[in-house]
C-alpha cells in the first residue's frame, strides 16, 4: 500500500516566476501531481534552498545541529568543503562530519577538502 500526502496553499513556481493557489500530491515520497485549485490557506509551498558553498565547521556546530537550525530557514542541503576540519583532525575529522551528517534528513554533499594542508597564500 502506497502512502499519499496532499498539501494545499500558495505554490511558488520559481521557473515560471509566479505564485498560484493549488495542491501538491506526494506518493511514495515523490511529487505525483501539482494542480491549480481555489484552496484555502496562507502557507507557501516552495523548493528548499541549497547552500552551494559552506564550511560547516566554521559555524562551530556539528552537521546535525547545523541542519536543525538551517532547515527552519528553508535550507535543505549544502555543498560543504571540510578543509578546516581536515587541516585540524585529518581524514578522521572528515569521516566524522560525514557520519554525523548522515544522522539527519538533510542533504550534506561533502567534497574533497580544497586546501589540505593549508598553503601560505
Domain boundaries in the chain?
A: 4-45, 49-110
pTM assigned to the model:
0.75
pLDDT digits (tens, 9 = 90+) for 66-97: 999 999 999 999 999 999 999 999 999 999 99
25-65 pLDDT tens trace: 999 989 999 999 999 888 999 999 999 999 999 999 999 99
- How do residues 9-28 score in pLDDT, each as one tens digit? 999 999 999 999 999 999 99
Query: Rounded to 5 degrees, what are φ and ψ at 106?
Result: -135, 140
Amino acid at each position: 500500500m502506497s502512502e499519499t500526502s496532499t498539501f494545499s496553499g500558495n505554490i511558488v513556481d520559481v521557473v515560471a516566476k509566479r505564485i498560484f493557489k493549488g495542491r501538491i500530491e506526494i506518493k511514495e515520497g515523490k511529487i505525483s501531481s501539482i494542480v491549480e485549485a481555489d484552496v484555502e490557506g496562507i502557507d507557501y509551498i516552495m523548493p528548499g534552498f541549497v547552500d552551494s558553498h559552506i564550511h560547516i565547521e566554521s559555524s562551530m556546530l556539528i552537521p546535525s545541529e547545523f541542519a536543525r537550525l538551517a532547515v527552519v530557514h528553508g535550507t535543505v542541503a549544502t555543498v560543504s568543503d571540510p578543509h578546516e576540519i581536515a587541516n585540524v583532525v585529518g581524514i578522521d575529522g572528515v569521516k566524522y562530519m560525514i557520519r554525523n551528517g548522515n544522522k539527519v534528513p538533510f542533504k550534506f554533499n561533502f567534497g574533497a577538502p580544497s586546501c589540505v594542508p593549508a598553503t601560505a597564500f
